[in-house]
Structure 1
Amino acid sequence: MADAPKEGKLTRFLDFTQLIDMASESVGGKILFATDDFFAPAENLIKSDNPIFKEHEYTEFGKWMDGWETRRKRIPGHDWCIIRLGIHGVIRGFDVDVSYFTGSHAPRMSIQAANLEEDKLPEIPERGIRTGAAATSEEFEAIDELKSNDWDCLVPMTELKPQNPASSHNYFLVNSQKIWTHIRLNIFPDGGIARLRVYGAGQKDWTATDLKEPVDLVAIAFGGVCVGFSNAHFGHPNNMIGVGRVKSMADGWETARRLDRPPILENGENGILLFPGCEWAVFRLAHPGVITQIEIDTKYFQGNSPDSCTVDGCILTTQEEEDMIKQKWNLPIPKWKPLLPATKLSPNQSHLFDSLTLELQDVITHARLTIVPDGGVGRLRLKGYPSSICLLRSREKPMMRFAVKVGFKANP
């Protein structure tokens, strides 16, 4: 087996691309500063969609490009920009995408990072419309307070390699376990980059959290992640645990239509569709804990929402999870406990359910959403209490119980 690439080196190991893009505008990423935005603004770097090319489109400043492109530099120095991550956490890898920048891509780049406290940041001028502009002396003065020249280097100066004009990715592995909040992308000396993807996992300081109310234990911003799924034809399950409310169908999980659907569909006695197949997604919680409330949002899924769903939970060790991933979750897991029985769903609606968990000490590490027969879900929220909070709660009072639907017997 070949040795894994060293940190910050070009890599073919693409597992990290299944993680969340922590810099994306869709999770709150923001460009704070760029030295120059003459041909195309740095905001394009963090667009959630893939770059496109418009062959015959021009602006008053030159060729329209879907990326960040600076002017041909005629003064000393190099170009760079600062990105505030929408999700703070551990970075596993970068994708520096130079698609469509044939003849104008940045020849070299490097990436630095920092962990900055939000309330101690200087006031940085809003950027506004930037095409055709360069940073002002006022903007340079404000950004200098961040001392970004001294930030940690995650990727040293490296040559960028254009490949297929429509798909030209440069991947870089990161092994650091530190938490980062800001990124500095340097290009040497100038040029264009279509997208910068910052792949990683959110992190939350659970010890500093006053959890008087249940918290979303599967939230991607806190470190929740999808670790297996049956189908993601139109959208990855990680979208369901994303930041904020669902914005469109593209912002959720949607499967292909199952080919084994019967020619004529029928309902069972409980009003739920009789169907032989299903689709599923498994999530590792951001923190082991007890789920007390489940939210399933089908907003925007009006003609393609699932008919029904179930939610189950279990405890898995790291090794057990690795084994399941290798086997594509085909091995039986006797540990699954029902959190939500088979429940009818409605299109374009937020559904809120009580969990079937019978006591606060019933901790899980993983949850599985199963939808029947197929379709799309915008958001999945699994609210509850981290295990450390659960175990500290007094056992002197009667066990907290939650609503159990008639005819369904929960596991003891």
Structure 2
Amino acid sequence: MTEQQQSPPARFTGDANPYGGGDPYADHRTADFPFTRYADLADRRLGAAVVAANDEFFAQRENLLLPGPAEFDPEHFGHKGKVMDGWETRRRRGVSADHPWPAADDHDWALVRLGAPGVVRGIVVDTAHFRGNYPQAVSVEGVRLPGSPSPEELLADDVKWTTLVPRTEVGGHAANGFAVDVEQCFTHVRVNQHPDGGIARLRVHGEVVPDPRWLSVLGTFDVVALENGGQVEDASNRFYSSPANTIRPGRSHKMDDGWETRRRRDRGNDWIRYRLVARSEIRAIEIDTAYLKGNAAGWAAVSLRDGAE
């Protein structure tokens, strides 16, 4: 069953022009979505994964959660046709020559386990490079289940899915954004494309809601880590990279995997303001400047504040 919730319509509809050469992102349609300031709960670096899909004939489901924008090589073809950097299903047909069209409710689906449970604030369904082979419409649902449920358990008839994005037309070669106003915690989402097509990337932005039982078992843990519910509330500058990189799991792998600001020409300093998981007794602080060799901070200071304001 599905509990209906309202969500704003997509920003883009219709085909994009066929690729004409040059920068493939030159005509990519996008917008400034305020909810992208929240963490991507479907980030593979958090442990998210596409656990199942009903069809991945042209392009595999795992591409949906790859970090970074989708790539496009106009000359790359395989034995099934054009190789696309996304999730692409085969074309649906009707039941007979007399009725060759898909049924109204025909659709393809993919199940995504979020990297951390959380409240979803917005979703981006990016159809980059899918100019004429994108879905006519998409919908997204969420559910919260304990443990590590199998695809069969997620698809069971008694599982109640909540609508995050109702069936909505989308545009090709576009970042289709949807604000979500559902005050519930979810562990999994199901993205549906109607009736078929290709999606390059899926981003599920929201606030992590950790399991307090797990944190109590850990005892001592990182109280600012994203996977434990820490948040970046604000930062002085986001010119080169997101300050949220500083609290993602693991160590930085390259320079843009950290937080780098534009160079200051005044006498001020750059800063990040974090919200901790909960009121905490801090025992140690680590500041890692890996891969920031000629542009690392010269000095650092940490100040604390206790209270809601």
Tell me by how many angstroms 1:209 deviates. 3.8
Report the residue type matching 2:161 in the other structure: W
- Would the alpha carbon gap of residues 209 and 258 (structure 1) be closer, same or farther in structure 2, given more than 3 Å must change? closer
Q: Does 1:248 align with 2:254?
A: yes
Q: How does 1:244-393 map to 2 (within 5 A)?
A: 244-260=250-266, 276-317=267-308, 320=309
Alignment pair present for 1:74 and 2:93: yes
Q: Displacement, 1:21?
A: 0.7
Task: Provide the secondary structure at the position in 2 that maps to 1:306.
Answer: coil
Code of the residue aligned with 1:254 in structure 2: it is E
Contact 2:10 2:168 in 1 (8 A): no
Does residue 210 of structure 2 align to residue 204 of structure 1? yes
- On the 8 A contact 1:201/1:221 being kept in 2, the answer is no
Tell me the residue number matched to 2:188.
Answer: 182
* SS at structure 1 position matched to 2:140: strand
Counterpart position of 2:231: 225
Go from structure 1 to structure 2 and tell me whether the alpha carbon gap of 1:207 and 1:143 turns closer, same or farther (over 3 Å shift). Answer: closer
Task: Kindly state the Cα deviation for residue 7 of structure 1 after the two structures are TM-superposed.
Answer: 3.4
The letter of the residue matching 2:279 is P
Note if 1:114 corresponds to 2:143.
yes
**Could you say which residue in structure 1 is the equivalent of 2:23?**
none
Unaligned runs of 5+ in 2: 12-31, 95-101
Residues 192-240 of structure 1, C-alpha deviations (whole Å, 9 max, x = no match): 1111110001112336643674322212123222121111222111111
Give the Å deviation of 1:29. 0.9
Q: Identity over the aligned pairs, expressed in percent?
A: 38
Q: Distance in 1 between matches of 2:47 and 2:217?
A: 24
Deviation at 1:93, TM superposition (A): 0.9
- 2:28 aligned with 1:22, yes or no? no
Asked if the contact 2:6/2:166 (under 8 Å) is kept, the reply is no
Aligned equivalents of 2:167, 2:143: Cα separation in 1: 17
CA offset at residue 245 of structure 1?
Answer: 2.8
Residues 174 and 148 of structure 1: CA distance in aligned 2, closer, same or farther (over 3 Å): farther
**TM-score using structure 2 length:** 0.81
In structure 2, the partner of 1:340 is none
Query: CA, structure 1 residues 148+16, in 2 after alignment: closer, same or farther (shift >3 Å)?
Result: farther
Q: Taking structure 1 as the reference length, what is the TM-score of the superposition?
A: 0.62
Structure 1 residues 62 and 209: CA distance shift in structure 2, 3 A? same
- Partner of residue 9, structure 1: 8
Aligned to 2:112: 83
Counterpart of 1:3? Answer: none
Answer whether contact 2:10 2:169 (CA < 8 A) is retained: no
Give 5+ residue unaligned stretches, structure 1. Answer: 1-5, 125-141, 261-275, 321-412
* 2:62 alignment partner, SS class: helix
Report the 3-state secondary structure (helix = DSSP H, G, I; strand = E; otherwise coil) of the residue aligned with 1:296: coil
Q: Distance in 2 between matches of 1:235 and 1:16?
A: 17
The secondary structure found in structure 1 opposite 2:64 is helix
- The aligned counterpart of 2:125 is 96
Corresponding residue number in structure 2 for 1:338: none
Partner of 2:72: 53
Shift of 1:182: 0.6
Q: Larger relative contact order (C-alpha < 8 A, sep ≥ 6)?
A: 2
Cα distance in structure 2, aligned partners of 1:309 and 1:220 = 21
**d(CA) in 1 for partners of 2:300, 2:135:** 48
Partner of 2:24: none
For structure 1, which segment, 217-226 or 26-35, has the greater mean C-alpha deviation from structure 2 after superposition? 217-226
Is this contact kept in 1: 2:116–2:210, CA < 8 A? Answer: no
Q: C-alpha displacement at 1:144, in angstroms?
A: 6.6
2:170 is matched with which residue? Answer: 160
Within 1, Cα distance between the matches of 2:10 and 2:139? 15
Q: Which has more strand, going by share of residues?
A: 1
Aligned-residue offset at 1:249: 2.2
Corresponding pairs, count: 275
Partner residue, 2:54: 35
CA separation in 1, counterparts of 2:123 and 2:183?
15
Q: In 1, Cα distance between the equivalents of 2:214 and 2:40?
A: 25
User: Take 1:250 and 1:92, find their aligned partners in 2: how far apart are those partners?
Assistant: 25
Asked which structure has the greater CA Rg, the reply is 1
> Matched residues in 2 for 1:248 and 1:226: separation?
21
Q: In 1, Cα distance between the equivalents of 2:212 and 2:304? A: 21
Asked if 2 retains the 8 angstrom alpha-carbon contact of 1:79 and 1:186, the reply is yes
Inter-CA distance 26–212: structure 2 relative to 1 (3 Å threshold): closer
Matched residues in 1 for 2:139 and 2:184: separation?
Answer: 18
Deviations 1:163-185, CA, capped at 9 Å, x for gaps: xx4xx121112122211111111
Q: Which residue identity lines up with residue 112 of structure 1 in the other structure?
A: E
RMSD of Structure 2 on Structure 1 (CA): 2.4
1:192 aligns with 198
Tell me the distance in 2 between the aligned counterparts of 1:148 and 1:97.
31
Which residue matches 1:403?
A: none
